[in-house]
Amino acid sequence: MATISGPSAAALHSLSPSDVDFLQSLPKAELHAHLNGCIPLQTLTDLTEHLTLPADTTDEIAATVARLKSGLTLNDVSEFFPLFSAIYAITSTPSALGRVTRDVLDSFLKAESNPPPGFAYTPAPECSYLELRTTPRATAQMSRYTYLTTVLDEIEKFSADQAALIVSIDRRMSDADARECVDLAIALRAAGRRVVGLDLCGDPGKGDIATFEKHFKRGKDAGLGLTLHIAEVCGNTTAESLALLDWRPDRLGHATFLSDEHKALFFADLLQPGSVPSPATESNSRRNGAYKPCIEICLSSNLLSRTVQSLESHHIQYYLANDHPISICTDDTLPFRTTLLAEYAQLLAKPPLGLGLGREQVKRIAAMGMEARFVQGRVEVK
């Protein structure tokens, strides 16, 4: 059962049953969901109760789970990333990771047995297609290879047109760690496993992106789609964003702090002769000859982590006004207490709870998300 509250829950509550039916009937793709950020609260609680955890971690874990249960309030995005150290202590064995992956996949792809408390709609799957992303972690109980195959074993229980994996590289990783993760992603894909892309994620205030360029290039050359968290906080410089765009990502996560002037510049003029994206990815990010990487929009995540003050001032407005491809995503359903349906509700709900878009426009936005999947136009993977 999903636990939702906050802005997306308010938007969903305000919709008529017919609007909810409409949103549920749309084929939707969830393209930006972090595995450890999307653990259902009930799964986390169960695991916490049944796992034997190192004594020195139990207080921190109990405190984090209690915060997540009571509903998180963040004063700043920097308070968000430390939450994961407690979650990671819970998902550090193959069996816990397998259970979590199963439950996350089910939460997106299977109709819930009950709607969330207080919501009277008929349960339906949150989306038709899920590109789940996760950062391979080596722990005392598993290698990065075991981490990835454990996750893939669960993903591949669904068909290729329902679920696939994006391997995340954390900005805090060393060159050697990033190399190992990308090597694994490439090797698993070559072995027929369902790895479709690479992501750059992690605390946007940390790391030097120059470390990762060669690894993302290798991944791209091996046919993996690229998505990069970019300009997520105001401290991310224009120079950094320009450098990331130079890798020709297919999709961008957030892209909150690109100025309108830079957006116009980046997305109109980037395609120079000789810098054409690889054939594997070009259908995803080119439109009418211009470079138009799909922007993964995470409304609740941005509002609750306070990188955006209101829907009215959200950068989605620019992308809608400029007919730039976007995809609506949840980012982390656990801390942000949302679902994909509730994120879509914020498109349809009347201001100030939502953007007040018409059904035709919402339908088109859902279609843009489906078009930005990494599986399209690629070699068939298992």
Q: Which residues are the active-site residues?
A: 232
The alpha carbons of the chain give a radius of gyration, in whole angstroms, of 19
| Non-local CB neighbours of 50 within 8 Å, separated by 6+ positions | none
When the beta carbons of 134 and 285 are compared against ligand IMP, the nearer one is 134
Q: Tell me if 374 contacts ligand IMP by CB under 6 A.
A: no
Q: What is the distance between the alpha carbons of residues 118 and 161, in angstroms, rounded to a whole number?
A: 32
Q: What is the distance between the alpha carbons of residues 29 and 372, in angstroms, rounded to a whole number?
A: 9
Tell me the torsion sign for CA atoms 63, 232, 276, 174: negative
Q: Tell me if 177 contacts Zn ion by CB under 5 A.
A: no
333 touches which of ligand IMP, Zn ion, none (CB within 5 to 8 A by kind)?
none
Tell me the torsion sign for CA atoms 116, 120, 123, 127: negative
Select from 164, 332, 348, 355 the one that contacts ligand IMP (CB under 6 A). 332
Q: Tell me if 170 contacts ligand IMP by CB under 6 A.
A: yes
Q: 35 vs 132, 151, 330, CA distance in Å?
A: 6, 9, 11
When the beta carbons of 34 and 280 are compared against ligand IMP, the nearer one is 34
Q: How far is the CB of 115 from ligand IMP (least distance, A)?
A: 26
Q: How far is the CB of 247 from Zn ion (least distance, A)?
A: 17
Per CB under 6 A, the segment of 32-40, 118-126, 190-198, 370-378 that binds ligand IMP is 32-40
List the x/- string, 62-101, binding to ligand IMP by CB under 6 A.
----------------------x-----------------
Q: Tell me if 331 contacts Zn ion by CB under 5 A.
A: yes
| Non-local CB neighbours of 97 within 8 Å, separated by 6+ positions | 91, 142, 147, 150, 151
170 touches which of Zn ion, ligand IMP, none (CB within 5 to 8 A by kind)?
ligand IMP
DSSP three-state, residue 134: strand
Binding site for Zn ion (CB under 5 A): 331
